[in-house]
Amino acid sequence: MPPVDILLPTINRVPALIMTLSGVAAQSLRDIRLIVADQSDRPAGPEPVILTLRRMIEARGGAVDWHTRPQIHGIAEQRDFLLGQATAGAVLYLDDDVFMEPWVLEHMLQTLNAERCGFVGAFPAGLSHRDDVRPHQQHLEVWEGPVRPEIVEPEGRGWERWQIHRAANIWHIGRNIPPGRSIRYKVAWVASCVLYDRQKLLDVGGFAFWRDLPRWHSGEEVLVQNLLMRKWGGCAIAPSGTYYAQVDTTVLNKAGTVDGHALDLLPAMVRRYAS
């Protein structure tokens, strides 16, 4: 069994998806299973370049499962479906607009195994901001010693850590870390490239709460990470080695907003899974 299943939801983003799959195909960790849930209007799987990348992943020792699905319930349901397909001990939720440098997945897995925490993130930078240096948003809370459980309440102490993940802040921070070194830092949440301990994720209910959300929603990973941090802790790494394609989001309604946020479910979820 591969040590990692990569869970990749995608919808109508073929150019960005090609970038993402190129990073997957080049990972130093080759024994992986890529599981894709494709909700594109025109299925992306048969596209010639994507077929080639799928074959490359398989030729290098990986496996690919491709599922074409209808657009009905939204991103949390997509994540729930993907988790239901997974069997590996660790699952990487990878958005379809993220490029990973070749060392990223292997290092994330080493960190997750060493820390035995709920998740390890590698937040992508938007390099259109590479000349936009924001020192006031780059305060990094480094984990000294092992990653430990912590409670981070919305708008409470630690919530402003999210500022680190704006623009290219994490890229600027990473440039000041000596080559070959890695820092584990504290987060409010981390998006787009997150490696979870699969059993721990299941122990807080996974993404089954999608049924309590409207079709257009956000915050589903913020919710599960908040629960995981309360029980086992979580962290992210710098440098992250990941980059955004910086294309339009696909989780907004026609008005350009969402109809609900998963954090509205946090009090009930804490009582059920992390009290």
Quick check: 38 pLDDT over 90? yes
| Least trusted range by pLDDT, from 36-40, 55-59, 133-137, 243-247 | 133-137
Q: For position 275, what pLDDT does the model report?
A: 82
How many residues in total does the chain contain? 275
DSSP of 28-43, one letter per residue?
Answer: S---EEEEEEE--SS-
Q: For position 52, what pLDDT does the model report?
A: 98
Quick check: 251 pLDDT over 90? no
Per residue in 9-34, pLDDT (tens digit) is: 999 999 999 999 999 999 999 999 99
CA distance 51 to 153: 44
Q: For position 138, what pLDDT does the model report?
A: 87
Per residue in 107-152, pLDDT (tens digit) is: 999 999 999 999 999 999 999 999 999 999 988 999 999 999 999 9
pTM over 0.95: yes
CA distance 166 to 149: 24
Alpha helices in 119-187 (DSSP H): 169-175
CA distance 230 to 271: 12
CA distance 90 to 201: 10
> What number is the average pLDDT over the span 84-106?
98
Q: For position 194, what pLDDT does the model report?
A: 98
Q: For position 117, what pLDDT does the model report?
A: 98
CA distance 1 to 8: 19
Q: For position 255, what pLDDT does the model report?
A: 86
> What number is the average pLDDT over the span 151-166?
94
What single-letter amino acid sits at 48?
Answer: P
* Mean pLDDT of all residues belonging to the chain: 96
Give the CA-trace dihedral at 261, 263, 229, 126, to 10 degrees. Answer: 30
Q: For position 153, what pLDDT does the model report?
A: 96
**14-25 and 48-59 helices, crossing angle to 10°:** 20
Q: Are strands 4-10 and 90-94 parallel, antiparallel or unpaired?
A: parallel
What single-letter amino acid sits at 114?
Answer: A
Q: Are strands 183-185 and 90-94 parallel, antiparallel or unpaired?
A: unpaired
Percent of the chain clearing pLDDT 90 (strictly above): 90
Quick check: 65 pLDDT over 90? yes
CA distance 91 to 4: 5
Quick check: 252 pLDDT over 90? no
Q: Mapping DSSP to helix (H, G, I), strand (E, B) and coil, where does residue 157 land? A: coil
Tokens of 243: 């980059």
CA distance 205 to 203: 5
Helix (H), strand (E) at residue 25: helix 14-25
Q: For position 256, what pLDDT does the model report?
A: 86
> What number is the average pLDDT over the span 159-171?
95
CA distance 31 to 63: 8
Show the domains of the chain with their CATH numbers. Answer: 4-273 (3.90.550.10)
**Inter-residue contact 267 to 227 (CB < 8 Å):** no
Confidence of residue 162 (pLDDT cuts 50, 70, 90): very high
